[in-house]
Amino acid sequence: MMRIPCRVEWSESHHGIESGTESEFLIRTGVLYEFEVGELIVAPHAMVDFAGDEEVGVVGVTVDMSF
């Protein structure tokens, strides 16, 4: 099954006492394809995060177990 997800996220990072807290708004979109291998669900994906003036590519594989 092919999916085209789009998410809107709010991220907050704590860098210690001296650095303070950093928050940012981002949008993530991309494609993924899910397929079953026995009882496992494997989903390779490629995403792009848009945060402020930056664009960051994200690639990976998600492995789930169906039950």
Query: DSSP letter string over 15-35?
Result: --TTT-EEEEEEEEEEEEE-E
Enumerate the domain spans of the chain: 2-65
- At residue 22 the predicted structure's pLDDT band, cuts being 50, 70 and 90, is low
Query: Is residue 35 predicted with pLDDT exceeding 60?
Result: yes
Q: What distance separates the 2 farthest-apart alpha carbons in the chain?
A: 50
What is the rounded average pLDDT for all residues in the chain? 79
Name the CATH superfamily, with its identifier, for domain 2-65: Outer membrane efflux proteins (OEP) (2.20.200.10)
pLDDT in the model for residue 61? 92
Residues 6 or more apart whose Cβ sits within 8 Å of residue 9: 25, 26, 27, 28
Query: Is residue 14 predicted with pLDDT exceeding 70?
Result: no
pTM assigned to the model: 0.61
- At residue 21 the predicted structure's pLDDT band, cuts being 50, 70 and 90, is low
**Between 67 and 64, the higher pLDDT residue:** 64
